[in-house]
Amino acid sequence: MSTNITVKYNESPVYDIVLEQDYNTIYRELNKLNTKNKKICIVTDSNLSKLYLNEVMEIVKDYAREVETFTFPAGEESKNLDTVYLLYERLIRSGFDRKDLLIALGGGVVGDLTGYGAATYLRGINFIQMPTSLLAMVDSSIGGKTGVDFLKFKNMVGAFHQPKSVYMNLKTLLSLNDEQYFSGFGEIIKHGLIKDADYYQWLKDNSKAIERRDLAVLNEVIYRSCQIKREVVEKDPKELGERALLNYGHTIGHAVEKHMEFKLLHGECVAIGMVAASYLSYKRNNITQNQLQDIVEVIKSFRLPVSVSGIAAEDVLKATLNDKKMESGRIKFILLSEVGNACIDTTVTETEMLEAIDFIIK
Ligand SMILES: NC(=O)c1ccc[n+]([C@@H]2O[C@H](COP(=O)([O-])OP(=O)(O)OC[C@H]3O[C@@H](n4cnc5c(N)ncnc54)[C@H](O)[C@@H]3O)[C@@H](O)[C@H]2O)c1
Ligand SMILES: O=C(O)C(=O)C[C@@H](O)[C@H](O)[C@H](O)COP(=O)(O)O
Ligand SMILES: [Zn+2]
């Protein structure tokens, strides 16, 4: 079973998202890029290097002049300029030129960091996303947002740089531990809440099959989420407007992620941030108290946290004011206008934000 989605900018196809259940057809993506006389560097983390690197290398080596690998320690703590420095060093020492190619084999951390390396090395070289986590398949591998954290502030240094292809092997989802697997549902539930109430309902109806990682159902989840993300990024590739809706739950979520020193996964922090943003949406009379309660229960049913402890509300507020959503001193906050629709609101006050943050700190 293979499914393809094409991402277009200004009506022109830019790259394909390929959903597969093995790695056998990667060569098609490489052939499109004429890689036979190019060097390829596969960038991955210390977990994936033990799981899929050899299999991918075996295939890629027949379609490249030379294959290098660059592995860094797994986890958000590595998503910074120190790791990018080591990547540049490796590429320079190995003589990578502008026509060569990077492959990001891993979760969102590998994808964001490799994408940023590709965007900046020699002023930009090609890269392919090979997402292995659910979160990376439904969200981070699509749309060309690349970057790294700085002083633990999330994604503060980055660039828009589109991949040449996004190739996923859904069987890799079977080796994720439960925490990593369910963290993907932070972004998936977000897609339903901001864009598609039917999808949100469908997720609830299919929770049992999702729980047992039925690959046919996961194919549907990934396909629907990728379509939602594709539609948004095609209309607004550089987040001048509507793309900001994808930030639902992130303003407070990113601040929690920073203050928890990356002990919680990104999807878990997005889940907590969505509870706060849904609380504000309820306070603004956009959704009912029952709908707020339903959102909290659905997030819990996907084994995601809905609150956090051990951090101070004032610190979280301060970090939200340093996030990228500030514009002329005002925060661009994403609220639900109803379940299945979201809006940008620049009138949320610090007092309202503190109340929402208090709601998620236990
Ligand atoms: N660029 C974007 O649009 C975008 C969107 C959403 C999230 N992000 C970023 O993505 C990151 C989160 O992504 P993530 O949750 O994939 O984190 P991650 O890359 O750290 O992966 C989570 C953990 O799962 C492991 N892992 C990944 N795939 C595996 C597999 N198949 N089997 C076993 N273990 C596996 C990793 O080694 C890691 O330990 C954050 O940095 C976030 O800011 C970016
Ligand atoms: O693609 C986007 O745009 C998103 O906002 C997707 C988010 O899930 C993702 O976490 C993104 O990296 C957040 O963007 P940022 O600009 O707030 O760093
Ligand atoms: Zn996110």
Do 217 and 342 lie in a common domain?
yes
Residue 301 φ then ψ, to 5°: -65, -20
* pLDDT at residue 1 in the model: 66
Do 149 and 226 lie in a common domain?
no
Do 127 and 196 lie in a common domain?
no
Positions in the chain whose pLDDT score sits under 50 = none
* pLDDT at residue 327 in the model: 79
Do 260 and 201 lie in a common domain?
yes
Percent of the chain with pLDDT over 70: 100
Do 182 and 154 lie in a common domain?
no
Pocket test residue of 23, 76, 135, 181 for ligand 1, highest count of atoms within 8 A of CB: 135
Give me ligand 1 centre to Cα 14, in Å. 24
- Number of domains, the chain: 2
Give me ligand 3 centre to Cα 66, in Å. 34
Closest residue CA from atom 13 of ligand 2: 247
- Secondary structure class of 29 (helix, strand, coil): helix
Residue ending a domain, among 155, 174, 193, is 174
Do 190 and 141 lie in a common domain?
no
Nearest to 269 by CA among 304, 235, 310: 304
* pLDDT at residue 118 in the model: 98
Do 246 and 339 lie in a common domain?
yes
Domain of residue 239, residue span:
178-360
Closest residue CA from atom 2 of ligand 2: 246
Do 23 and 157 lie in a common domain?
yes
Residue 158 belongs to domain with CATH number: 3.40.50.1970
Do 164 and 213 lie in a common domain?
no
Residue 145, C-beta contacts closer than 8 angstroms, at least 6 positions apart: 112, 115, 155, 158, 160, 239
Q: Could you identify the atom of ligand 1 that is nearest to the CA of residue 48?
A: 37
Spell out which residues line ligand 2, taking CB within 6 angstroms: 139, 143, 145, 154-155, 187, 239, 243, 246-247, 250, 324
Give me ligand 1 centre to Cα 135, in Å. 6
Do 7 and 82 lie in a common domain?
yes
Do 276 and 226 lie in a common domain?
yes
61 CB-side CA count, 13 A: 8
Residue ending a domain, among 135, 151, 174, is 174
Residue 12, C-beta contacts closer than 8 angstroms, at least 6 positions apart: none
Does residue 13 come out as left (phi exceeding 0), alpha (psi in the -120 to 50 range) or beta?
beta
Do 298 and 327 lie in a common domain?
yes
Q: Does ipTM exceed 0.90?
A: yes
